[in-house]
C-alpha cells in the first residue's frame, strides 16, 4: 500500500527519475548513460537480461541543485591539479563528502524506494541488487571511458540502495575519473551520471566474451573467459580464468586452457552480500562452464554483435535457475574500441594465445567494484 501511495503521489517524478530497462530503449545517452543504453538495447534485442531500472541524469541534475551542491563542486574543481596526486585525491574526497552529506529530494528518494520495492515483489522481500554507475561518456563506440564509475554488488534494502546511488554519483569525481577526463580533454562539468539498479544474478560461473580475437583483431573468432562465481574477480585480475578460443561459424572451441581457480566471489544466501570464499578442491581445476553453456554463450555473443553491428565486449553469468536461456544471463555489452577501428585480420589458433591479460587490457579500463563484504 505504501509503494502504491509513493508512486501515485508523485507520478511525474517517477517518470522523470525512474525508467524500467524494458521502457528505456528510445532514451538518449544524455539521459541514461552509456551502460544503460547498452542494457536497454540488449532488452530490445530480447537478450536474457536481469530486470532492473535506470535512475536518470534528471535525478543527478536535480541533486546538483540541493543546497548549492553543483556550485560547491564547481568551486572545488577550480582548485584541481591533475598532475598532483595528493591534490587530486583531496578534491575527490571533498566532492564525495559534499554529495553524501546532502539529503536527496524527498520525491526522488521515494521514487527510488518504490522502484526498488517493485524489483523485490517477485522475490517476496528485499531484492539483492547491483547498483552500477552509467556515465554519459562511457561505453560508447568512440569513447574509452568504461569502468570509470563505481559498481556495488549485493546491495540489500532501500536505505542501502539510496546510499549507493550517492556513491555512484560521487564516483564521477574519483581521482581516476578526473585524470582520465583531463587526459581526454573532457570538461568535468559536461558529464553527468545515471545509475542502473539491477537484480543480482545467482552466478555459479561468470566471465567475458569478445566477438573478435583481441590478439590480432580476427573477427572469425570469439574469445570466452570464465571463472567460478561472479565475474568481478576475472575483470579485476584477481583470478586466472578458463580461456576458450571459439570458431564463430561452427561455434566449437579451437583452443582451450583450463586454469586453477582457487577462490570465487559469491552472494551469501543469508546476508545476500557478495563475499569471497575458497573454491573446493574438486572444482579448482575443473572447467567453470560446460560445453553446452560455452556454445550458448558464443551464440548469444554472435546475436548481440549482429544486433549492434560492431564487435562487442560482453559480460555474462550462468544462473542455473534461468532455464529458459540455458542458464546464460547477459550483464552488459559495450562496443570493442581497439580493433573495430582497424582492418579485420584472420589468424590461426597458434597466433591466438592471448590470455587473460590481453582480454582484460582490451576491455578498456578495469571495472571499479565495491563489494559489500
Q: What secondary structure does DSSP assign to 12-39, as a single string?
A: HHHHHHEEEGGG-TT--HHHHHHHHHHH
Give the DSSP H or E segment for 303: helix 291-308
Taking each helix axis from N to C terminus, what angle separates 69-78 and 57-64, rounded to the nearest 10 degrees? 80
- Predicted local confidence at residue 76, as pLDDT: 95
- pLDDT at position 122: 63
Cβ-Cβ contacts under 8 Å for 168 (sequence gap 6 or more): 131, 132, 133, 149, 150, 152, 193, 195
E-strand stretches of 99-169: 128-135, 150-156
Report how far residue 66's alpha carbon sits from residue 76's, in angstroms, rounded to the nearest whole number.
Answer: 16
**In the numeric block, which cell numbers belong to residue 160?**
542501502
Label the pairing between strands 368-371 and 150-156: parallel
Whole-angstrom Cα distance, residue 289 to residue 16?
41
pLDDT at 146: 53
Radius of gyration of the chain (CA): 20
Q: What is the pLDDT of residue 365?
A: 31
Between CA 260 and CA 278 the distance in angstroms is 12
| Successive 10-residue mean pLDDT values, the chain, 373 residues | 38 81 92 90 90 96 96 94 92 96 95 93 77 78 60 91 97 91 85 93 93 92 96 88 96 96 86 85 96 95 92 93 88 82 51 38 36 38
The string of DSSP codes covering 207-258 is EEEESSBTTTTBTTEEEEEEEEB-THHHHTTSSPPEEEEEETTT--EEEEEP
- Partners of residue 199 on adjacent β-strands: 129
Q: How far apart are the first and last CA of the chain?
A: 33
Residue 48, judged by CB atoms within 10 A of its CB (0-12, 13-18, 19+), counts as: buried
Please give the pLDDT value at position 65. Answer: 95
Sheet holding 52-55, edge to edge: 18-20, 52-55, 193-199, 128-135, 150-156, 368-371
Q: Looking at residue 305, what is its pLDDT?
A: 94
Domains by residue range for the chain, with CATH: 2-199 (3.30.1490.20), 205-365 (3.30.470.20)
- pTM, entire model: 0.77
Q: Which residue has the cell 555512484?
A: 168
Please enumerate in sequence order all residues whose Cβ is within 8 A of that of 213, keeping only pairs 6 or more positions apart, or say none: 221, 223, 245, 347, 352, 354
Q: Between the CA of residue 354 and those of 93, 251, 358, what are the distances in Å?
A: 38, 19, 6
Amino acid at each position: 500500500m505504501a509503494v502504491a501511495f509513493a508512486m501515485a503521489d508523485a507520478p511525474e517524478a517517477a517518470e522523470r527519475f525512474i525508467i524500467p530497462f524494458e521502457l528505456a530503449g528510445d532514451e538518449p545517452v544524455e539521459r541514461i548513460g552509456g551502460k544503460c543504453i547498452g542494457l536497454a538495447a540488449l532488452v530490445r534485442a530480447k537478450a536474457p537480461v536481469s530486470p532492473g531500472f535506470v535512475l536518470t541524469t534528471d535525478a543527478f541534475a536535480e541533486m546538483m541543485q540541493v543546497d548549492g551542491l553543483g556550485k560547491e563542486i564547481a568551486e572545488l574543481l577550480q582548485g584541481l591539479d591533475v598532475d598532483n596526486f595528493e591534490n587530486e585525491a583531496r578534491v575527490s574526497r571533498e566532492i564525495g563528502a559534499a554529495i553524501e552529506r546532502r539529503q536527496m529530494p524527498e520525491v526522488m528518494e521515494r521514487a527510488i524506494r518504490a522502484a526498488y520495492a517493485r524489483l523485490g515483489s517477485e522475490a517476496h522481500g528485499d531484492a539483492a541488487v547491483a547498483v552500477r554507475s552509467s556515465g554519459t561518456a562511457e561505453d560508447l563506440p568512440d569513447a574509452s571511458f568504461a569502468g570509470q564509475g563505481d559498481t556495488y554488488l549485493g546491495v540489500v534494502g532501500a536505505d542501502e540502495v539510496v546510499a549507493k546511488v550517492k556513491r555512484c554519483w560521487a564516483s564521477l569525481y574519483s581521482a581516476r575519473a578526473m585524470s582520465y577526463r583531463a587526459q581526454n580533454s573532457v570538461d568535468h562539468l559536461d558529464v553527468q551520471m545515471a545509475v542502473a539498479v539491477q537484480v543480482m544474478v545467482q552466478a555459479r560461473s561468470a566471465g567475458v566474451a569478445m566477438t573478435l580475437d583481441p590478439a590480432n583483431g580476427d573477427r572469425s573468432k570469439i574469445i570466452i573467459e570464465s571463472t567460478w562465481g561472479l565475474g568481478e574477480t576475472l575483470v579485476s585480475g584477481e583470478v586466472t580464468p578458463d580461456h576458450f578460443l571459439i570458431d564463430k561459424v561452427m561455434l566449437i572451441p579451437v583452443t582451450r586452457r583450463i586454469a586453477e581457480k582457487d577462490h570465487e566471489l559469491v552472494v551469501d544466501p543469508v546476508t545476500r552480500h557478495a563475499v569471497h570464499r575458497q573454491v573446493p578442491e574438486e572444482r579448482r581445476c575443473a572447467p567453470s562452464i560446460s560445453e553446452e553453456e560455452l556454445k550458448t554463450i558464443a551464440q548469444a555473443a554472435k546475436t548481440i554483435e549482429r544486433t549492434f553491428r560492431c564487435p562487442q565486449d560482453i559480460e555474462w553469468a550462468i544462473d542455473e535457475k534461468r532455464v529458459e536461456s540455458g542458464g546464460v544471463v547477459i550483464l552488459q555489452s559495450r562496443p570493442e574500441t581497439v580493433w573495430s577501428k582497424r582492418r579485420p585480420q584472420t589468424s590461426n589458433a597458434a597466433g591466438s594465445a592471448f590470455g587473460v591479460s590481453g582480454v582484460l587490457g582490451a576491455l578498456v579500463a578495469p571495472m571499479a567494484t565495491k563489494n559489500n563484504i
